[in-house]
Structure 1
């Protein structure tokens, strides 16, 4: 078995398709985590593996990997200095996300960290945002969600009736029906909304 660029690309595409199914409630988190490696290895490499073991190892590696998006620390610091309330909202695995945020040394910027795993529903479900607003001091009319996913972050914000900004650093064309209020290519552009 060779894990070359072709295999990595195929896995990333397959993995993203599963996350999209999760967002649409077509599968459960358990089905995603238990099935993604087993199914991928069976279909791509014609191998039978224990998907749970592979998933646990993958999440362990993922938890210890983080790469700062250009300007992220600076914009977080700038917003924090002017007392902007910063919340983190993710569909990612709680333990993995917390480890990555801690390792990146940015935990102190966030007043709250909301994960779908703890809330029990995934973005874009409006209940995710109902929970967020019920458990923070954020007000929908004064909230802007900034995210890189049209189907979870931006659609979730639209479903919740809040302003949305699509972080699109590669200037990817949006062919979907999901229309963010704003689009930014660089995190420094967030300053225009403060």
Structure 2
């Protein structure tokens, strides 16, 4: 078995959790309550605005570098949301979708992947069917109790405040990608590294 602690001493996950999160090739994300804090801001013209966290955005970019496809399935749609996803290079997204499991299955088919290669992070009832079907499910700290009950892991971070990044980091560690990606920015993970 791979010595995960030697590779990433800053991120210490239980080995059984990392084993459960291995082999992931696609990660499904909700938007409201996962990539945002769940709050909705409305302009005078009625446009919906959302606040995104740059830590989460970096996590999504790192997944792509590691060959893990991020897929967004959300019940809402807005121009700012589409702009944010475009800026992150996310090309697999479904907007205005209440029934998320069929949308996820369509993406799996398109990517020639299975639920056994899928992870999901969600915070509320509309996310539950995808979370339940995925091989690995995660929920933010402030998720609804039912989402937490289905999750294999609950992040210490809240939605919109780094929960998606924590999910991404876990997948990167489990897949053996974290240390190599860290080295690409000139940092070599070692036992003396600090957070």
**Which residue of structure 2 aligns with residue 182 of structure 1?**
153
More helix per residue: 1
**Cα separation, partners in 2 of 1:107 and 1:176, compared to 1, 3 Å:** closer
| Counterpart-to-counterpart distance in 1, 2:140 and 2:148 | 17
Does residue 122 in structure 1 map to residue 99 in structure 2? Answer: yes
**Cα separation, partners in 2 of 1:110 and 1:192, compared to 1, 3 Å:** same
Structure whose CA Rg is larger: 1
Aligned residues of 1:116 and 1:122 also touching (Cα < 8 A): no
| Counterpart-to-counterpart distance in 2, 1:59 and 1:115 | 21
| Counterpart-to-counterpart distance in 1, 2:64 and 2:70 | 8
**Which residue of structure 2 aligns with residue 34 of structure 1?**
none
CA RMSD of aligned residues (A): 3.1
Cα displacement (A) at 1:60: 4.6
Other structure's SS at 1:104 match: helix
Alignment of 1:37-48 (within 5 A): none
**Cα separation, partners in 2 of 1:75 and 1:177, compared to 1, 3 Å:** closer
Cα displacement (A) at 1:114: 1.9
Which of 164, 171, 179 is matched with 1:193 structurally? Answer: 171
Which of 40, 48, 61 is matched with 2:47 structurally? Answer: 61
With the length of structure 2 as denominator, give the TM-score of the two structures. 0.51
Aligned residues of 1:101 and 1:107 also touching (Cα < 8 A): no
With the length of structure 1 as denominator, give the TM-score of the two structures. 0.51
Q: Relative contact order (C-alpha < 8 Å, sep 6+): which is higher?
A: 2
Does residue 78 in structure 1 map to residue 62 in structure 2? Answer: yes
Aligned residues of 2:73 and 2:95 also touching (Cα < 8 A): yes
Alignment length (residue pairs): 123
In structure 2, runs of 5+ residues without a counterpart are: 1-42, 158-162, 173-195
| Counterpart-to-counterpart distance in 2, 1:164 and 1:155 | 11
**Cα separation, partners in 2 of 1:140 and 1:116, compared to 1, 3 Å:** farther
Which of 131, 140, 143 is matched with 1:167 structurally? Answer: 140
